Amino acid sequence: MDYLRMGGYADFVWPAYGAAAVGLIGAFVITWRGLKAREREFETMKRQRRGETS
């Protein structure tokens, strides 16, 4: 438990690592969701296109 206190600097060390985690994980989640949404959009577009030509 003493370790978590970070020698009295817990209020600064843990939020700093938290901020980094939020930034990196957040950017990954946004990117992943954006990619999946764009893939779906492109697939529907291709399907519609096939429907039109047939």
Partner 1 sequence: MHKYANPTVFMGLANGILPWAGMAMALLFFAGLPMALIVSPADYQQGEAARIMYVHVPAAWMGLMIYGVMAAGSAGFLIWRHPMANLIARASAPLGAMFTAVCLVTGMLWGKPMWGAYWVWDARLTSMLILLFLYVGYLALADAFEDSERGDKAAAVLALVGSVNLPIIHFSVTWWNTLHQPSILTMNGFTVNAAMLWPLFLMVGAFMTYYVCILVLRLRIEILNAKIRNARRARAAEPAVNGATQQA
Residue with smaller CB distance to partner 1, 1 or 12: 12
Binding status of residue 29 toward partner 1 by CB under 8 A: no
Burial 24-50 (b: 16+ CB within 10 A, else e): eeeeeeeeeeeeeeeeeeeeeeeeeee
Count CA within 13 A, CB hemisphere, residue 7.
1
> If binding is defined by CB under 8 A, does position 35 make contact with partner 1?
yes
Binding residues for partner 1 (CB under 8 A):
3, 6-9, 12-13, 15-17, 19-20, 23-24, 26-28, 30-32, 34-35, 38-39, 41-42, 45, 49
